[in-house]
Amino acid sequence: MRTSRPSPEINSGSMADIAFLLLIFFLVTTTISGDVGINRKLPRESDNTIIDYHQRNLLQIMLNNTNEIMVNGRDIVPIDNLKNVVKDFIDNNGDGSCTYCNGKQRTDSSVNPNKAVVSLQSGNLTTYEKYIAVQDEITKAYYELRQVYAKNKFKKEVGDLTKDEMKQVQEVYPFILSEAETR
């Protein structure tokens, strides 16, 4: 006579516990990378996208498909010189109305920092790293101009300014960057 023996079973009660512990382990040990980007305040939405500007007040920086930087459509500038080119353009004091500017009053650069527009355009094959590097150089130029103004006016570093003083510095050297097509 045959006797039927029960088939052995695997106790799966602790499987859920093990899966839960593994899930907690991976959640705790995994690092989530933060987003990296450029801190910019976007303009308000407007129906009027046409801006009237004088060509003298526009510094065109173009990145071509081979990552070369061209300024005003004629000069290829190394990335190391870009910050100084931007500073010279913004701080030019072309019309003599700027009492705090240290520029050379050239006739081919901006008349006043409040009217200076830096236009940045890039080719389809421009690398992201080069684009960000150019953005950084433009930002450094504005920062250095603001730093000099803060030292002369308030006898402080930019980081030590009060909110009202910082607002005044930003009004004197407004960060005007256009990434739109210019004609």
pLDDT by residue for the chain (183 residues), tens only, comes to 567 777 777 777 788 888 899 999 998 998 877 766 667 666 666 655 556 677 888 899 999 889 999 998 888 999 999 999 999 999 988 888 888 888 888 888 888 898 899 999 988 888 989 999 999 999 999 999 999 999 999 998 888 889 999 999 999 999 988 886 554
Question: Nearest to residue 134, comparing CAs of 40, 181, 68?
Answer: 68
Calpha distance 163→177 (Å, rounded): 23
First to last CA, the chain: 100
Q: Report the C-alpha gap between 130 and 136 in whole angstroms.
A: 10
Q: How far apart (Å, rounded) are the C-alpha atoms in residues 64 and 164? A: 40
Contact 181/121 with Cβ under 8 angstroms? yes
Question: Residue 58: in which H helix or E strand, if any?
Answer: strand 58-63
